[in-house]
Amino acid sequence: RSVGPALLLHPNTDLDLRLWAEYADFDYYELSPDAQDRDGTIARAGLDVRWLFAKDWTARPYLVYWNYRADGDDYDHYAVGFGTKVTAPEFIGCEFTLALSLVLARYDHPHSLSEDGESRRDTRFSLGLQVKLKFLEKALGFVPSLSVNYEKWASNIGAFDFDRFGIGGSADILALS
């Protein structure tokens, strides 16, 4: 359950701005110790930009702030995130998009998994590459894509300090009637 307004601005043909806010109420429906109960609310606000530059290149930088109030003390935190996606012009029948992001999250209470009563502090970095195989669209009737992603979560609490690598695929399907 969430609600949120947005203001869309189009100052010129090469630039779109979206100022937005959101309030959401979450229920995770899982059993957990009281301190680790993630049910709660999140208030978020951000700025998204779409900028067309050079010849058919697109950059989509963003900035977001959020404040999470959970039923359990372990998840009460605020965070700031920023990043961008850059999409290159179509090349050899493919569209390439590179995504980078960084999130700084600071938790309000000593964490239940901390050995010395520390509050959690996370720095999360992600890097991804998506390749849309546009040359297959006419033959298949949709655009398949492949992606590779890397995430680095650096935390002072060992359970949240990890690296994750992923590969995936998806299909962009446009249904016409």
Largest Cα separation within the chain, whole Å, is 61
**Percent of all residues in the chain with a pLDDT value above 70, rounded to a whole number:** 98
pLDDT of amino acid 100 = 98
Phi/psi-derived region of residue 115, left when phi > 0, alpha when psi is between -120 and 50, beta in every other case: alpha
Q: Model pTM?
A: 0.86
pLDDT of amino acid 177 = 54
pLDDT tens-digit map of 89-106: 999 999 999 999 999 999
- Beta partners for residue 146, in sequence order: 131, 169
**Alpha carbon distance 35, 119 (integer Å):** 13
Compute the average pLDDT of residues 114-129: 94
